[in-house]
Structures are given as C-alpha cells and as structure tokens.
Structure 1
Amino acid sequence: MLSPLDTSLYYLTNFRTALAWVTGRYADLLEAGEQAFIDEFLALPTNAQALLVRLLMRKGPHFRASKLSYVEIGDIGSAAAPLLERNWLIDDAELSLNELFALLRKDELLACLPETLGMRSRNKTEWLEQLRTHYPQVRPLEQWSPGLDQLYSLTITPLCDRLRLLFFGNLAQDWSEFVLAELGIYRYENVEISAASRGFRSRRDIDDYLHLRDCRERHEAGLDASQVLAALGEFSSDNPYLAARHAKLLFQLGRQLEREGKLAAAASLYAASAHGEARQRQVRALEKLGDYQTAHTLACTALESPRNAAESQALERILPRLCRQLGLVRPLRSPALATPAFELELSQPPELSVEWAVLKHLHEDQAPVFYVENTLICSLFGLLCWDAIFAPLPGAFFHPFQAGPADLHAADFRNRRQALLDACLSRLDDGSYAQRMRATYETKFGILSPFVHWEVLTPELLETALLCLPAAHLRAWFERLLDDIRANRAGMPDLIQFWPGERRYRMIEVKGPGDRLQDNQKRWLAFCAEHSMPVEVCYVRWSEVL
C-alpha cells in the first residue's frame, strides 16, 4: 500500500484510482485479458507498477534505459524485470530507420551509420531522406548500434488505451488529466456520478468506437476514401454518440470524393450521412452532376424540415439556381433586414489586429468597448444556466474530468433538461438573473465550462453587461444558442460598446480590407436585426502611409 504522504508516486495513485473506477463501473464489459491485466498489475511490486505507468504517460513505445531515471522507482532494470516476464515490455523490438532516428542523437547516428560521415553539415531530417532507401529493413537496436544502450518497448499500450477509453469515454484525454487537475491548471465541476452512469453500454460500443477511430485515422493519414470505406464496412450503431461519429466520418469521406470530382459517390455518401451539412452537400453534388430534378426535390424536402439554420441558408441560396435550370418559378424569399454599417479609415497599427484597432479608436471612458466575439453571450448563458448544464443526468457525466456534458451537441440536449432550463431562464422574467449570474461567477470562477470564458469575462465586463443588456435580448440570444449549440456558439459580432450612463449598448462586426461576412455571421446579424438589437458592421480601410 502507498502511504498517503508519498506524493512522489502521485501518478501511480491516480492510475490505480482509474482502474478501480473502471472495474467498479465496467466489470461486465471487461474482456478476460483486461481483467487479468488489472489483477496482475495490482499484484506487482510498487516499483514495477510505477515504471509501467511512467512509460504509459510518456511518448513511446520505445524507451532507452539510459534516459529513464526516477528517484522514487530506483533501479530501472529491477523495476522492468516483472514487466518483461509478462511481456508487457520487450527488450528486443525491431526498429525501422525512422524509429532509430527518433531515438538516437546525431553523434550516435554518425557512429552507427557510416554513410552519414559525408553528411555532417546536414540535419537529421536530410540524413533520413537520403538513407531511407538504403535501410528498408528493421532490426533490433543491438544490431543497429551494438552495445549502445538497453531498449525497452511497451506492448501493453493498446490494452491500456482501452481502459483509458472506458474511463474517459474518449481517447482525446489521457492520464495527465489527473496531474493537471491536482496542480490546479484545470478545475472541473464536481458532478455527482452514479455507478450506473457510463459512456459505453456494451462491449460492441467499445469495439465500434475503436473501429471508427481507426478508420478516421486512416482517412487523416491520406488513405483513399474507397479504402477507408472498405475498412469501415457495413457499420451501424444504436449509440447516438457513435452514430454521430459515423455520420461525421461519412461526411468527411464524401467531401474528399467531391473534391476529387467523384460526385456520384460523394452524393451517395452524403445521402447515408446524418451529419448537419450532408443534405446541402448532397444537393450541391447532384446539381454539379446535372441531376437538377432530384436536387430540387431534395432541397424542397429539406427546407420543409431543416436540420439547422445553416442548412436553410445554404439551400435557399441553391434553390433559385435549380428553379432556373428546371424552368420553374423562383421561390419568393423575404428580404433580409439590412444591418447598419459604417466605415473607418485608420492608420494600420504594426502589431494590432483590425478588431483591436477599431476598439482602440472607438473606446471612450464613458463608452467602453470590449473585444468579446463569441465569448460574452455564451458566458452569460453559462453563468445563468450552470445548474442545468451540469445536471447529473444519465449518460451526461461518467468521469470526473469532463468540462461539460457528453451530450452537449446531441439533438435532445435541450429536451432532456427542459424543466431545468426553463427554471434558469425564468429568472430573466422575474429579474433575479443578475443575482444568479453574480453568484455563479463568485462560486464557480475558474471551473471549466463549455460556455464560460473566464479569461475574457472580467468583473468589469460582467457588471457592465448586466447593467446595459436588456433581459429580453439575453433571453433571445440564449434561446437561439439552445436551438443549435454547436452552430450558434460562433458568428457573433466582434466588439461590444456600452454606454453605462444610458444603460444601452451596440455590437460591432469588424471587417478589414477585402474581408467579407461569413455565413454564420450573416445569420447572427439577421437574428439581431429581427429582434431590434443594436448591431452594426464596421468596414475598415487603411490610410495610405506617405
């Protein structure tokens, strides 16, 4: 047993905590080999356990013994012996030339590769490119460079990655999360997590996640879309999280095929994908193929029940072209409300962005300007609705290192929390919202949130915003956020200017020379205009320097 005062083995304590968590929640999903690893690991001497965890936390899988030195572990050879006996480590791994170059210094490469002697002035990357064809074979380090060093190579990483996946519910997070939390670099909300709350419901969910990840990595490595699809096979899942990942992969493969001009194949993949942009891309692919009738029918059907505002915007832009091709009457569109605009001619500052240049120009003591972009409205929403966002609903939180609920972008995020969200938003009606936001700011400051940007939301900005922003405008913004959290957290105006003495404000979208409004910005500007919110577009041109 570790002494509670033995802080030098904190990482081992954390790993054991994770294993206990996995065993307590996923015992029914563990394979025999995974359970055997946990049992054998916990029976190892402390120094062997510590070494394995140290290696799992480092970039591997190959480690030179001379580079391993840990006071709390002691002799590395002694600690490695039980791991070698179990084949969790091996000491005779065969290395490719790439792996050799990653392990050895330049002088060591000079000693074992005679061809490098004539390339002393070049760097290692140039050496590697020059020698790649001369050394296609793999061989142990002892054969590359006899007597140079002892090499240890991890073989247990895939199994430990599966345990990490069970704990975190993803492979983007790693064991360093414990350390970052203990150091106070990251702080997480303390959500009550029941033993029944877990990210995976079956062994198939785990295998499906790993399969999708493997296919995504093949795609990102540049493998041809047809090869990735062959590896993917006939995939399906009733797990919403995995279904969403599958839909995104199909969409990405469709985009690759579309860029390659393989429009029919791309359209087919878009049709199979539930990704938010898939239907509009399918319509565009059909349009490029000249199948205007099918494209028109799909666009009209989609507009009857759009997945989101972005889809509506894209399809409304395409539909007139399709009608023209088919000889149909162009659909009538309500004219967009114009957004007021103004121009500024400024001297281009050497180090400031165009947004900061405008801020500096407009800022006054009695009318301060803040660069907030997407942070202010999201932060105010996060403060008001904190309890609803971090509600311990089944499947929302299943480990203590979550910055937000796992279902944040799920279609039913709002429905699952409707009563909780209604209770939070009702404070905008009874006037208690400011008090609630201040209280949340004070008690939760620094805790990670998917909405609150603590580095931007200073006490000054918070108080000024609460003074100048009407509750009706806050409710409208918050409702729009909840309509589509993923899409609507972006596109908000860059700057906000307050007149505290008059309790009013204006938002300003800044565009530098040659810059144009993006689609998500146009949607936000249209929304603000529809709700009579003061927003303007500032077009900047740089004055000529004589």
Structure 2
Amino acid sequence: MRSLVLPEKYYLDHFFEFIRFTESHCASLLLPEHLTFIRKFKRLPYNTQCMFVRVVNRKGPLIACSKFNYAEIEACQTQLDILQELGILRSLTFKDIPSLLSGLNKMQLAELLSGSGIVFKKSAAKSELFALVCDADPKHIAQHNICSDFKIKTFVQEWQYLLFLFFGNLNSALDKFSMRDLGVLKTRQKSPQQGPGFDCIEEAQSAFYFACQKQALALLDGQVLLELTDNAELKQRPIGSIATEYAAHFWYELGCALLAIDKEKALAFWQLSSHQKAQERLIREIYKSDKAQAKFALEAILSAPKDDELSLFAFDFYQRKFNQKKLSVRTQRLREHSRKLYIDEVYKDRVELGVKRYYEDMQPNRAQDSCSSGDECLAILAYRTENRLFRALFGLTFWHELFNEATRATGSEFERRPRLVKENCLYEELSEQVESRLKLFTQYKNGSNTSFAMRYITQIASRYYGQPNGIFHWHSDMLEIVGMFLQHVDGQWVVNHLRAMAKNYQGLKDGYPDLMVIEDNQLRFEEVKAPGDQLRANQLVSIDALQSAGFDVGVCQVEWRYNPQQPYVVIDVETTGGCKPGHRITEIGAVKVINGKVVDSWSSLINPQRRVPHFITRLTGISNEMVEDAPLFCEVLDTLEAFMQNGIFVAHNVNFDYGFFKLEYERLDRTFSMPKLCTVREMRKYYPGSKSYALGKLTKEYGLSLDHHHRALCDAKAAAELLIMVIEKKQVL
C-alpha cells in the first residue's frame, strides 16, 4: 500500500482550515485581541504567513531564530524580521531570562557561564550549571550573544485561547491535522451540528482561565504557590458547567499542594471546590480538630445529596465516626453480600479471566449431569463486560440525540465527547426524546423476545461503526454482547438504568461489574475481587444503581488455590535468533499437563521464510534443508490453537517463547493473549538454592531427561517435568 505524503506546505493549509472553523463557529467567543491576531496573519505576505505558522506551531513562548531554516520558505531570516517589525515577535529583556534558561541545553548553559566569568566544573551535571546561571545577574545574561538568537512570541495567550476553543483543551495542537491526513488519527465526520463549545464568551473565558490555572499549577513551587493564593481572581465564581469542572479540579489540586505549607488556605480552596475528593478530604481534616463542625457538614450532604460517591462517603463516615459502626459500607458489602470462588493462582494477574474460565470449565460437568437426568443442557456463558456494555448501550441508544439532534452537539471534528455528555445534561435538555427512545426496550416483535431496541441499535451500529464518539470503543463482539444482554433481561430494567444514566452520565459512566454471567437462562452481573481488593466508591454506586433498576448483581471474592484440572501447555520454540522482529520460529514443541501428568504432546518444524544461520544449525541441529518443506506458522495455527485451548502458556523463560508467538500473530494481523507461567520463576520460588536455573543445569541437578537439548519437543518435555515438580510442591504446601 502506498504511504500517504503530506503536501509541502501542509501546515499552512491546516492553519487556514483552523481559522475558517474558528471564524464560522466561534466568532461570538472572540475578543478584539483574537480578531486582531487573525487579521495580522491574513495581511502577511505568503512566505511570511508560512513562517508565522512555523513559529506558531513551535511549543513554548520562545523561539531560536537560527533553528528556523526551511527550504520551502524564501528568505527565512527576512520573514522573521518582518514578524518582529509587526510586533508578532520581540527581543528578550532581562525579565524573560528565567523562561529562557529552563529551555537551554547543557552546552548553552556552559557558554553563558563562561561569558559571564563564572567558574564551573566542565564535568558538572546540567542541573548544577542551571543553578549557577540562575544565581547570575539576569541583566548581564541578557547581553550575551546566545540571547540575541532568541525571540519572544507576543501572542501566546491569544493563540492558546483559539486552540482551546477549537480542541476543547489545552493539550492539543495543529499536529493533529497532520495525524488525521496521514490516517493515524480518526476524527468525527463534519456535520451541521458542529458548533462552539460554549453558549457565550463569558463561559469560554471562564473555562479558559481555570484550565490555564490548572495546567500551570504543576510548575509552581511552595513559595510561588503561597504568593499565588493572594490573588483574589483565583476564587472568582466559574461561569458555566465546563468552567465549574475545571475550577473544581484546580481548587482541589491547589488545596493538595498547599496542605503541607498552609493548611488553612488548603481547606479554604477545598471549601470552594465541588470536587468529590475535595469535599471528602475537607471533612476528614475538619474532623481532626472540630468533630461538631464535621458532623454538621456530613448532615448537610446527606440532607441534600448532589453526588452519589460523596453521599456514600458521607453516610459511611457518619456511621463509623458518630454511630460507632466498625466496618465501612464497602467492607460490609464484601463480607455479607459476596460469594467465594477458588481460582488457580496462575490467574493472579488476570483474575477476571480466571473466573470466566471457571464458569466455562463448569459446563462439561453440568451438561453431563443435566443430560443424564433428562433435563435440558443449558450452557453457562460468561462475558467480560465491565464499563463497555452500558457505555455502548447508552451511546448507541441515544446516538441520534447526542450527535444529530442536540444544539451544538459537538465542537470540531477532533472533539469526541458530545456536549450533552460533557455538560451532563442529556435528560435536562432532551427529556421527551429520551423517554421516546426508551420505549423501544419495552416493545417486542410479535411472538419474539427480541425488543425493537435491538433492531434500532443494530441500525445505528451499522451506520456509524468506527466513528469516534468519546463514550465507548467499537469492537467486533459488541452487538453480540448487547444482544445476549437484551434477550435475558426485563426491558423495564434497562429503561430504568438508561434513564438514570441520561440524568447523570458523569456519575454512572464507570464502576460497572467485571462479568455478565448467563446461567440457566438467568442473567447476573458479578464484580470480581482478588484477595486484598476493596470495592471502590464508584463501583458501589454503579452496583447500587443496577440493583435499583432491577438487575441481579453480586460480588465474587476469589481465593487462590491450585486447580488440578487446569490444563497447562508447556511450549518451547526454536528460532533463527534472538527475539527480534527479523527472526522467526523454526520449530515448536508443546506438552499438555493436567493434574500433574503429561496427557498429550505435539510438535512441528516451521518454515521461517528466511535462512537459518550456521551457528543456529550447530546449536539446534535444525538446517535450512529440514525447514524448506515444513509448514508455515499460519498453516499449523488452527491445530496449535486447538491443542492450547483453555490452557496456561508455560515455558522456561516464558517471555522469550511468548514473545515469538505474539510476533507471529502480529504478522497475521491477529492478537495473541494467554495466561502465562514461567518455570524459571516457579523453580526459583519452590526450589531455591540452585547455582543455575538454566534448563540444562536443572535437568542435570534433578536427574531429568534431556536427550536432545535445543530441540523443541525435548526441551518442552523437560520443562514439563519441572512444572510437575512445582505442582507437587504446591500440593504439599
């Protein structure tokens, strides 16, 4: 496939596209200085416009003129001079020196020190040189010839504001246009519903102010922070929902930064913030010194709840501190309303997959028992759903309302989240449309348990598949999961929960249970918790919301046990060299172990589609002649996958063999993923003290067979014997 190439002056095209959108959609949000900025650009000569955009796209307030040499721009230095004459750039003054110094490299810092007559060690670290330069007189440094190369942009605030209006944040730049044109970044289709992200200029300015304050906070130290808090503007009332969200985060983070420096000021900023964590930390701090005031604050939250997570915290804290309850709500829920499952410890890093496999492994026994007694054999189906089911259901159900019907539904094509989601006001603005859409879930085709909602959702998915939306990620099995869900639940339950999401998407967008399980035609959700895990506040909120809607939701607590029926597939691969993209597999050996015994084995030479180096042939005995007529990896894949089904991938130094499998799958545009276990690590854990844990050394130490070392099946059998030793030790322990 031909690679895409950008035009020579792509950046100028992108800038004009950016300006056109700003003028057509955001004109009401621009101040005179922003209009002046745009007019200045339009009046520039063509080559100066090119240089202007190059300057604009360079990060930071300073530019080094000597770096601005571009073959496609005529007389680059002349264009920079024009920009300075027009006041778009200016020379440095001693006040700009702190900004300059932070961007210099070690060599430039050393040159400044030498020119200022300051003694330093040439071997000193950059941080030491930086400290020395910072102590020097900025007026003297400003006269150095290095400084003459740098110019200051005079339009930074204006440019940041325009970017903020276009992208909806302070972290994006025009390089996203290039990523779009190269096919790297997928954007939303342009539509008539695109518009400004704010109702009025006051909202836009307020949001921009707090966004800038939040961004700058990370760069400030203690003394500057204290000076900053004296600025009365920091406590100004935000205008609009987006500004309110930025302000809440800013005040919370500012309070966190101030707590160790000035507790009183920290609490004052938390008092301003509507952020749930700010209110929680505020009450915890107040409780330490004034329990009565803390009690009053908790009662105020409980009497007029605005945030589910904050209300949960308030109830929990009140019960434990003032009603002498020993356990938190979340701990009590885990203890009293959960079931235990015993899962093989190999799933420690993938506990949800372990529980899913547990249900799938139950099926053969259930089927045998049911069929022998004459009952219908019903499968147990388990799906990893987490947040993706209800986010997809919400996004697909209300797609038309979110993206096609709402006023100013989205901003530019780069903004993914629809406005009604950002402002959390879908039901508030479009309640009639939402209620009309929800009726689909309680209307069914004649003689069918399939609601009209599924047909509608399928139509939406077919029409808009792959469109970025800021709510959910598209995936191939999404409609299958949604379909199974809708077939096994009461439509009214779905209506109840989707209505709650429409009223408060921000409060119910995450925290959903890990698994959807269908057993005996009954659907339930399960939140999976490994030993030591706790229910998070957002999880408890979402679980309670689902239960209130009518769903069966439980918590599954896992305890680690060795499962003798768990298949382990011990793999060894021989290759043309190290685990690099250019090297390939030449042989695969696989041994299946169940209940501590070898039950099956499989092996095959593999054509690597490249030459086998001589030193590899000397090491393994595998020659080019041997693999010339061997099958390709893709030709043995189906057989190999059937052999490995539901198994644990085991190998000696597992990442080597696992890595080659991943590379081979990637060449086929597929993804390889299995739980894995390393016999090196397991032997170190259960049989410590060996001088070497190389396969050859261990087999010799423990008297195991290894007749043809560096042939795949032989090595896999040896590693399987080590695995059996580990299993035996686990059973004893």
Common topology (TM > 0.5): yes
Out of 511, 520, 529, the position equivalent to 2:538 is: 520
The match for 2:16 is: 16
The match for 2:604 is: none
The match for 1:7 is: 7
Contact 2:251/2:269 (<8 A) preserved: yes
State the distance in 1 between where 2:395 and 2:188 align. 14
The match for 1:372 is: 385
Deviation of the 1:447 alpha carbon: 1.5
- Segments of structure 2 that go 5 or more residues without pairing to the other structure are 325-331, 364-378, 444-450, 563-684, 687-728
Contact 1:270/1:279 (<8 A) preserved: yes
Further displaced range: 449-458 or 482-491: 449-458
Query: 1:355 is aligned with what amino acid?
Result: E
State the distance in 2 between where 1:110 and 1:285 align. 48
1:73-92 to 2 correspondences below 5 Å: 73-90=73-90
Query: 1:54 is aligned with what amino acid?
Result: R
The match for 2:704 is: none
The match for 1:143 is: 144
Secondary structure of residue in 1 paired with 2:9: helix
State the distance in 2 between where 1:361 and 1:230 align. 59
Per-residue CA distance 1:236-273 (angstroms, 9 max, x = gap): 244343244334433444455566683x6555545444
The match for 1:443 is: 463
Per-residue CA distance 1:33-53 (angstroms, 9 max, x = gap): 432332221121222212222
Secondary structure of residue in 2 paired with 1:404: coil
Contact 1:254/1:265 (<8 A) preserved: yes
Work out the percentage of aligned pairs sharing the same amino acid.
19
State the distance in 2 between where 1:179 and 1:456 align. 28
Contact 2:193/2:404 (<8 A) preserved: no
State yes or no: 1:488 paired with 2:501: no
State yes or no: 1:303 paired with 2:321: no
State the distance in 2 between where 1:151 and 1:252 align. 34
The match for 1:428 is: 441
Secondary structure of residue in 1 paired with 2:49: helix
Contact 1:409/1:485 (<8 A) preserved: no
The match for 2:528 is: 510
Query: 2:213 is aligned with what amino acid?
Result: C
State the distance in 2 between where 1:420 and 1:125 align. 61
The match for 1:404 is: 417
Query: 2:539 is aligned with what amino acid?
Result: Q
State yes or no: 1:355 paired with 2:352: yes
Describe the shift of the 1:537–1:441 C-alpha distance in structure 2 as closer, same or farther (beyond 3 A): same
Contact 2:90/2:151 (<8 A) preserved: yes
Deviation of the 1:418 alpha carbon: 0.9
Secondary structure of residue in 1 paired with 2:298: helix
State the distance in 2 between where 1:72 and 1:159 align. 27
Per-residue CA distance 1:357-408 (angstroms, 9 max, x = gap): 4445555696554433222221122111111222453455343432122342
The match for 1:160 is: 159
Contact 1:97/1:138 (<8 A) preserved: no
Secondary structure of residue in 2 paired with 1:425: helix
Per-residue CA distance 1:503-543 (angstroms, 9 max, x = gap): 55443322233222212222333444553415341324366
Deviation of the 1:478 alpha carbon: 2.1
Further displaced range: 515-524 or 21-30: 21-30
The match for 1:390 is: 403
Query: 1:245 is aligned with what amino acid?
Result: Y
Per-residue CA distance 1:441-476 (angstroms, 9 max, x = gap): 222122222322125854554554455555344334
Describe the shift of the 1:407–1:395 C-alpha distance in structure 2 as closer, same or farther (beyond 3 A): same
Secondary structure of residue in 2 paired with 1:40: helix
For this pair of structures, how many residues does the alignment match? Answer: 522
Describe the shift of the 1:384–1:29 C-alpha distance in structure 2 as closer, same or farther (beyond 3 A): closer
Secondary structure of residue in 2 paired with 1:510: strand
The match for 1:328 is: none
State yes or no: 1:452 paired with 2:451: no
Secondary structure of residue in 2 paired with 1:481: helix
Secondary structure of residue in 1 paired with 2:294: helix
Contact 2:402/2:409 (<8 A) preserved: no
The match for 2:178 is: 179
State the distance in 2 between where 1:70 and 1:359 align. 58
- RMSD over aligned Cα atoms: 4.0
The match for 1:331 is: none
Deviation of the 1:416 alpha carbon: 0.6
TM-score normalized by structure 2? 0.61
Describe the shift of the 1:239–1:141 C-alpha distance in structure 2 as closer, same or farther (beyond 3 A): same
State the distance in 2 between where 1:529 and 1:159 align. 50
> Which structure is higher in RCO with an 8 Å CA cutoff and minimum separation 6?
1
Contact 1:345/1:540 (<8 A) preserved: yes
Query: 2:319 is aligned with what amino acid?
Result: P
Contact 1:212/1:245 (<8 A) preserved: yes
Describe the shift of the 1:434–1:25 C-alpha distance in structure 2 as closer, same or farther (beyond 3 A): closer
Describe the shift of the 1:140–1:55 C-alpha distance in structure 2 as closer, same or farther (beyond 3 A): farther
Contact 2:523/2:552 (<8 A) preserved: no
Secondary structure of residue in 1 paired with 2:164: helix
State the distance in 2 between where 1:261 and 1:161 align. 32
Query: 1:23 is aligned with what amino acid?
Result: E
Secondary structure of residue in 1 paired with 2:507: helix
State the distance in 2 between where 1:24 and 1:139 align. 48
Contact 1:367/1:498 (<8 A) preserved: yes
Contact 2:47/2:74 (<8 A) preserved: yes
Out of 324, 328, 339, the position equivalent to 1:341 is: 339
State the distance in 2 between where 1:368 and 1:99 align. 62
TM-score normalized by structure 1? 0.80
State the distance in 2 between where 1:360 and 1:119 align. 61
Describe the shift of the 1:139–1:58 C-alpha distance in structure 2 as closer, same or farther (beyond 3 A): farther
Describe the shift of the 1:528–1:198 C-alpha distance in structure 2 as closer, same or farther (beyond 3 A): closer
State yes or no: 1:61 paired with 2:61: yes
Deviation of the 1:222 alpha carbon: 4.3
State the distance in 2 between where 1:266 and 1:312 align. 22
